Every structure is written in structure tokens, then in C-alpha cells.
Amino acid sequence: MTTFNKIRLLLWIFYPTLLFGLLLYDEAPLPERVELMTAPRPEVLSDDNLWLAMLGFAAPEGETSVAYGKRYLGIIDEAFNRGDFQAAWNAIFNDPPTIKLQADLPSKIYKLGFLECVVEHPEEVSLWLRENAELVRRYRELRSYSCFVEPLDFGAYMPFPGFSQLRNGQVGIFFETALKADRGDIAGAFSEVEKDVEFWRFVLRNSETFITRLIAIACMTRDLEFVSDLGAKYPLDTESEVTQEKILRSFAAEELSFEKVIIGEIRYLLANFEIQDKVFPKGWSWDALLYKSDATLNQVVRINENRLYLASLSPRQFAQTLRVTPDCYENNWRMGLSFLYNPTGEILAVMASSISFSNFMESGHELEGIRRIAWLKILASREEVPPQEMPQFLQEHAAELGNPYTGKAMNWDAEQNRIFFPKLNGEGDRGMTLSFSSAERVVNLPSRCAHTEGPLE
């Protein structure tokens, strides 16, 4: 046999062997992936699970919020057990019937704020509270739950609580609290805000998906803005001062960090791929040549490793990292050898992890900045700092209440009387407006007239 024929024979053997090897080969599961997916999780269907109560917030009369949440998940789970994944998918978009809890929000609050609205439009506020008594009752009831567990193993079939009704329930709390303050019960008003702040801090510490974390951040931001208005307008007794300090204490690392959320999102993605593998088993086919299950799931973990590191950074470290490498938050996938035996899986893993996480992580760090601005607004009002002295005032408080990203003093907008700090992505800023009206701050707490009567607990 000539040398040429030998080479040709070897090629005839090599390429079929390579093709057969590519068809059969799959990676071994990464240890960290196995650890993540086998880690025991708390019981989702617990009667004390706040997530279920939030999911069932608008449950029909006669059914508790948790019972509704269980029933909703049960419909999806039953479809899983039947192998009818289309029915499970349909259940997400055709959730069981709910009731409409809230009326339209009074338009005045968008111009005046809650504290001014209850003074200038008490009848409209009282009417809104009467019409939405059930909404506010259910919102307040959410505070009684002691665990928060999300069904991550449902993957893309996992439903999410609605934000609008939770937001409007919080609006009801703010109206009731503003009425308390208007009647002179400042301590009671601060106590009510403290309960709401502690509730959303609890959700921040325990949320494992972006959606629930962003809901908590949005509601916590509203709490901070409201308490800044409350503290800036009314003089406080000792009890209220203590409560205010509790409300505006620094956030714990687990309340700002997205590390737990990134881990939850990884498990969510992995569970979704595993579900899809059950729905569309590859078997012996050309699809199996292009898609390897374990290699794909391993790639999802690898892509998100850098995001886990970013999520563990403090606001200042996070900002410094983004300044040095602006694209560091994006997935760190690079084409390698694994693309040869798992091209489809590689593409799917990258697509599943393609969402830009930087804005989500930044929203957590911004919360600390908003907390600091709330303190600055209260202190400036208490010390009656005139507008022209605000830059100096902000500089004096830069060490403890400065920009969370730089450590420097907060910015001052003299035209709008606004304290702010720029967002890291360069698109806008976060801040609060101050009022320097001499009539703005209540020096004495007069006995309010009867028009403030309304439903209060």
C-alpha cells in the first residue's frame, strides 16, 4: 500500500471516528453546578411563604392569598406531571381568576406628594381609602409572613407576583400614614413607615430573582422618599427620632448585593434547560450532534462566574471595576473547543445569559445613595440650610453621606433645589428635591380639623 493510500485510509478512519466521538461526547457536570442543583431548598408550598401570598395578592373573596398561590402553582405542576408542557405554559398567561382590588390613584399625588395631598384634598384621599380598604388590608397582611421562597425549579414556567397592586397597596399605607402625621401622631406615622421598611428589607434579603428584587427596590425607594418628606416637614420627639434612625440605617450587605439573586438566576436557567430537555429529548439524532445537555449547563455556570464576582463588590469597588473595564458585566463567553462538539448548546447558553446585569446591580447600589440623600434632605431641613450654602453643607457630610460610588460629596442642582448623584451608566441620575418655603416645615403641631377623618388602624 502506497503512502498516499495509507494517509487516505487513515483519514477515512479518522473523520468517521471524530464524528462518532462528537455525537457521543458530553462533558461531566461541573462540581459547582451539581452542588447548586442538589442543594436542599426550603418548602415552597409553606403556609408561611410570603412569595405565595404576593402571588395570590388579588385572590378571589373567600380564598386566602397563600391558598390561591398554591392553587396557581398546582395547576402548573399538574401539567408537568402529565407531561403537558404546553398546558403549563398556558397556565402562566391564563392564571386563575382574581378580583380587581384598586381604584385609580388620585392624580393629585403626582404633583403634591402624599403629605400635601391629605391636607389639600382630604375628601378625595378618604374616598380612595374607603374604596380600597381591602387592598390596604391585604397589603398590611403581607407583613405577617416569615419566609420568602421562590419556585426556581419551575424555570421559565415560574409565575411572578404583580407589581401594580403591591405598589397601590403601599400607596394606601402612605395615605394612612400621612393622615396620622396630619393629625399630630408623628410617632405613629414613623412606626407605620418602619414596618413597611422592615418588610421590604426582608424581601431584599431573601429575593432570588431579578423581578422580585426590583419590586423590593422600587418599593423601598418609595419608602425612603416618603420618610424624607416626613422627617423634613415635622419636628420629631425622641421616640420618632429613634424610629427615624432605624428606618434610615445603612443597608446590610445582603440587602444591597445581587450575589444571591445571581445564584438564584443561574439555578432558574439551569432548571429551565433541564425542563426543555424533558420536553424535547434529543435521543439519537442530528440534534444530539449539535447539542449536549451537560456541556450546555456547564457553560451557563461558566458564563455567570464573573457576574457572581461583580455582585459581591461594594458600590465603590463596583464603580471602579466598571470604569476600568466597562464591559466586564457582560457574559465572558469566548469560542473554544467546546463549540466543536456543542455548537447549538453554546449559542443557547449565551442567549440565555445575554441579559445585561449591570443596570440591575446598579439599582441595588443606588438604593444606598437614595438612603443617604434622604438623610441629607432631613438634616438640611432641620438645620434650615439656605440654598446658597447647600454645596458647603454637602461637602461637610461627604464622609458619611457622600456619593456611594466615589465617596465625594453629593451634587447640588441650584436651579431645581435638588440633591443628586449621577448614575454609573451615564444615563441620568438619582436624587430628591428640597423645599425652602418658610411654610413648608411644621413648627408646631396644631389640632387638625375634622376634614382629615378617614379609615385608620
- One pLDDT digit (tens) per residue for the chain, 457 residues: 677 666 766 766 666 666 666 666 677 888 888 888 888 888 899 999 999 999 999 888 888 999 999 998 888 888 877 777 777 777 777 666 677 766 677 676 667 789 998 888 888 889 899 989 999 999 999 999 999 999 998 887 888 888 888 999 999 999 999 999 999 999 999 999 999 999 999 999 999 999 999 999 999 999 999 999 999 999 999 999 999 999 999 999 889 888 899 899 889 888 888 887 776 665 555 566 677 788 888 888 888 887 888 888 888 888 888 777 766 555 555 666 676 667 777 777 777 666 656 567 888 889 999 999 999 999 999 999 999 999 999 999 999 999 999 999 999 999 999 999 998 877 788 888 887 754 445 544 443 333 333 333 3
CA gap 65, 60 in Å, rounded: 9
Q: What is the pTM of this model?
A: 0.85
CA gap 396, 202 in Å, rounded: 33
CA gap 395, 380 in Å, rounded: 12
Q: Where are the domains of the chain?
A: 100-131+162-258+360-450, 259-356
Of 272, 270, 276, 274, give the one whose Cα is nearest residue 298. 270
β-sheet bridge partners, residue 412 = 419
CA gap 1, 166 in Å, rounded: 81
All cell numbers assigned to 331: 457574559
Residues 411-418: contacts with CB under 8 Å, at least 24 apart: 414/387, 414/390, 417/387
Residue 308 CB neighbours (<10 A):
15
> How many Cα atoms are found within 13 Å in the side-chain-facing hemisphere of 114?
25
pLDDT tens digits for range 377-397: 999 999 999 999 999 999 999
All cell numbers assigned to 383: 438645620
User: Can you list the alpha helix ranges (DSSP code H) found in 46-162?
Assistant: 50-55, 65-82, 85-93, 109-112, 114-120, 122-131, 133-141
CA gap 150, 51 in Å, rounded: 6
> How many Cα atoms are found within 13 Å in the side-chain-facing hemisphere of 126?
12
